[in-house]
């Protein structure tokens, strides 16, 4: 018998990468209004070569967290094993992969700054990325950096990639949150009776989430999605507070509040960032043609915006729905491997 001590827990073999964890004691998250942890653990896959390495920043979907991708799965490869296997086939790039820890009590941060959740965009851009550069031999070329994710992670990829083209030269988004009229408004109407029951109280909603009452509802994920997105897009008033953009009695949109939400919709902010997007080396957009949140319609509109401004991108529409995102990640790695070979 032989035995050894491994640096990080894992229940499977990773042949082509070293696993490490970058711990960030975030000054920016220290006083976040939800009292979520300020200490964040960001797992990494490190190549065995000397570097300098390209970098892939991986963002998770709503109620997920990229570090969870390291959890073993029954009878199938998890995301980490899929990268390792794809690399062996030449279908994933040799790069440092960082799995961003950005989960909040409300289920996600959308990787933006919000007075109701915390400054997660700043945490990524001014704490996590500088720490990566400090500790590892990384490429300094934006064309060697990619930000990617699915669903909320895809939203984060579009937001951060279009906001910081000097950092991210590649953007890969799978079924990104967008077209709020079709994808988010129905969720808000499902949750509106509960918001009325809470007397439009953020404190009450948070209390019901923490004591488990909210998640006892049969459609709890829909409700949590509505409240979680309100925390990200509808911050209003004191820190930690948010509002729905709907009149709780009539259901009518409140124009000033709805406009605040729409400012965060990629269909609205991407046309304002076309100069930045033209600096990006590669953009990959992927969505199912039966998306449960109607995101195929938003993705088609994003592709149309990019075409209108003559911004080259790769657009793929697959036969499937929103919950097939995990199966699409290998397509991102394959695309990125091709991008970095050219």
Q: Is the pLDDT of residue 10 over 80?
A: no
Query: What is the pLDDT averaged over residues 208-219?
Result: 95
Q: Are residues 127 and 45 in the same domain?
A: yes
Q: Is the pLDDT of residue 81 over 50?
A: yes
Query: What is the pLDDT averaged over residues 242-263?
Result: 97
Last residue within a domain, chosen from 232, 262, 292: 262
Q: How far apart (Å, rounded) are the C-alpha atoms in residues 10 and 5?
A: 11
pLDDT > 90 in the chain, percent: 94
User: Is residue 46 in a domain?
Assistant: yes
Q: Are residues 205 and 336 in the same domain?
A: no
Q: How far apart (Å, rounded) are the C-alpha atoms in residues 339 and 342?
A: 6
Q: Is the dihedral of CA 293, 297, 302, 305 positive or negative?
A: negative
User: Is residue 12 in a domain?
Assistant: no
257-272 tens-digit pLDDT = 999 999 999 999 999 9
Q: Are residues 137 and 62 in the same domain?
A: yes
Q: Are residues 290 and 159 in the same domain?
A: yes
Q: Is the pLDDT of residue 2 over 50?
A: no
User: Is residue 208 in a domain?
Assistant: yes
Q: How far apart (Å, rounded) are the C-alpha atoms in residues 167 and 277?
A: 12
pLDDT of residue 116: 98
Q: Is the pLDDT of residue 8 over 90?
A: no
Query: What is the pLDDT averaged over residues 211-216?
Result: 95
User: Is residue 48 in a domain?
Assistant: yes
Q: Are residues 233 and 273 in the same domain?
A: no
User: Is residue 83 in a domain?
Assistant: yes
Q: Are residues 315 and 239 in the same domain?
A: no
- What's the number of domains the chain is made of? 2
pLDDT of residue 5: 60
CB neighbours (10 Å) of residue 108? Answer: 30
Threshold 0.85, pTM exceeds: yes
Q: Are residues 187 and 283 in the same domain?
A: no
266-296 tens-digit pLDDT = 999 999 999 999 999 999 999 999 999 999 9
User: Is residue 1 in a domain?
Assistant: no
Q: Are residues 114 and 43 in the same domain?
A: yes
pLDDT of residue 7: 67
Query: What is the pLDDT averaged over residues 69-81?
Result: 93
Q: Are residues 99 and 170 in the same domain?
A: yes
- Give the phi and the psi of residue 145 in degrees, each rounded to 5: -120, 135
Query: What is the pLDDT averaged over residues 118-135?
Result: 97
Q: Are residues 318 and 251 in the same domain?
A: no
Last residue within a domain, chosen from 234, 262, 290: 262
Last residue within a domain, chosen from 214, 247, 262: 262
For the chain, give the mean pLDDT: 96
Q: Which of 114, 262, 111 is nearest to 180 (CA)?
A: 262
Q: How far apart (Å, rounded) are the C-alpha atoms in residues 156 and 159?
A: 5
18-35 tens-digit pLDDT = 999 999 999 999 999 999
For residue 151, the domain's CATH number is 3.40.50.1820
Q: Are 137 and 127 in contact (CB under 8 A)?
A: no
Tokens of residue 209, six digits: 């989430």
By residue range, what is the domain housing residue 169? 17-179+265-341
135-188 tens-digit pLDDT = 999 999 999 999 999 999 999 999 999 999 999 999 999 999 999 999 999 999
Query: What is the pLDDT averaged over residues 337-341?
Result: 95
Q: Is the pLDDT of residue 74 over 70?
A: yes
More confident residue, 7 or 52: 52
pLDDT of residue 342: 62
Q: Are residues 44 and 145 in the same domain?
A: yes
User: Is residue 5 in a domain?
Assistant: no
Q: Is the pLDDT of residue 6 over 80?
A: no
- Confidence at 189, pLDDT banded by 50, 70, 90: very high
The vertex-170 CA angle with 181 and 147, nearest 5°, equals 65
Q: Are residues 199 and 158 in the same domain?
A: no
Burial 20-59 (b: 16+ CB within 10 A, else e): ebbebebebbeebbbebebebebbbbbbeeeeebbbbbbb
User: Is residue 11 in a domain?
Assistant: no
């Amino acid at each position: 018998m032989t035995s050894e001590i491994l640096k990080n827990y894992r229940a499977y073999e990773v042949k082509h990468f070293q696993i490490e964890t970058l711990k960030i004691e975030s000054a920016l998250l220290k006083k976040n209004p939800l009292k979520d942890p300020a200490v964040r653990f960001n797992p990494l896959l490190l190549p065995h070569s000397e570097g300098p390495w390209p970098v892939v920043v991986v963002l998770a979907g709503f109620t997920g967290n990229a570090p969870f991708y390291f959890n073993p799965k029954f009878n199938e490869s998890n995301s980490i094993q899929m990268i390792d296997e794809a690399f062996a086939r030449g279908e994933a790039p040799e790069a440092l992969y960082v799995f961003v820890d950005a989960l909040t009590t409300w289920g996600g941060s959308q990787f933006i700054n919000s007075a109701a959740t915390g400054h997660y965009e700043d945490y990524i851009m001014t704490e996590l990325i500088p720490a990566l550069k400090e500790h590892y031999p990384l490429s300094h070329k934006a064309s060697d950096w990619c930000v990617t994710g699915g669903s909320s992670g895809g939203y984060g990829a579009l937001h951060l990639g279009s906001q910081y083209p000097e950092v991210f030269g590649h953007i890969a988004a799978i079924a990104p949150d967008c077209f709020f009229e079709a994808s988010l408004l129905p969720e808000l109407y499902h949750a509106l009776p509960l918001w009325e029951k809470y007397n439009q109280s953020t404190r009450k909603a948070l209390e019901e989430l923490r004591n488990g009452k909210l998640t006892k509802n049969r459609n709890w994920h829909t409700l949590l999605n509505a409240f979680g997105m309100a925390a990200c897009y509808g911050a209003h008033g004191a820190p930690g507070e948010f509002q729905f953009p709907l009149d709780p009695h009539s259901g009518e949109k409140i124009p000033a509040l709805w406009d605040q939400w729409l400012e965060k919709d990629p269909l609205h902010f991407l046309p304002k960032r076309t100069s930045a997007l033209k600096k990006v080396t590669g953009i990959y957009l992927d969505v199912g043609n039966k998306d449960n949140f109607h995101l195929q319609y938003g993705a088609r509109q994003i592709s149309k915006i990019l075409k209108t401004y003559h911004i080259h991108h790769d657009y793929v529409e697959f036969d499937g729905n929103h919950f097939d995102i995990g199966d699409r990640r290998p397509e991102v790695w394959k695309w990125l491997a091709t991008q970095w070979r050219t």
